[in-house]
Amino acid sequence: MKKKKLHSNIPTKYAGIEFRSRTEARWAALYDLLGWSWTYEPLDYNGWIPDFLINDSLLVEIKPIIFFEPDIDVIQWDCEYPVMLSGIKPNLIADNMVSFGWDFEGDNYMLKERYSKTFGVLFDYGLSLFNSDWKDLINDLHNKEFCYNYSHINMLYREASNKVKWKRK
């Protein structure tokens, strides 16, 4: 039996780029709010064109899913970058931890917020595989001491959604 798609693709323009879906445009807006550089459909790997390259360090494929599905129709592509599979939005996992997607074994890419403990100021956001050495693929750091704030990320996600919603002409 064929699975029903959660969302139909609605081509959406954001930042001067015509995205194939509103979900892709929403992720681009969220990456902007996080201060990450991104390139839309950056490379062609023999027919597979990843949706994003983030900070020249991580490829992202967006799928209309909520949680990781081991039987999802995705190939483990052979390329020079790690690949993250993302669904329609960031997910709260546990203890206020935020997942931005998965590797192909289902391990979570966790969002990390780096703060100054002295001043309580946010420096930047990063991503690490949950069961790894906590290497930050965005900022190239190795540090387990990060805070997670799902309510803050959820607010940014809502703001990204507002940036790409349909507007009457």
Domain boundaries in the chain? 12-164
Using the predicted structure, report yes or no on whether residue 18 has a pLDDT greater than 90.
yes
pLDDT score at 15: 96
Q: What is the mean pLDDT of the chain?
A: 76
| DSSP-assigned letter for residue 43 | -
**pLDDT tens digits for range 56-94:** 888 899 988 887 766 655 555 677 888 888 889 888 776
Residue environment code for 52-71, b if the CB has 16+ CB neighbours within 10 A, otherwise e: bbbbebbbbbbbebeebeee
pLDDT score at 1: 43
Region label for 146, one of left (φ > 0), alpha (ψ between -120 and 50) or beta (otherwise):
beta
pTM of the model: 0.80
Flag the least confident range among 20-24, 77-81, 85-89, 131-135. Answer: 131-135
pLDDT band at 166 (very low <50, low <70, confident <90, very high): confident
- 95, two tokens: 């203890």
Using the predicted structure, report yes or no on whether residue 115 has a pLDDT greater than 70.
no
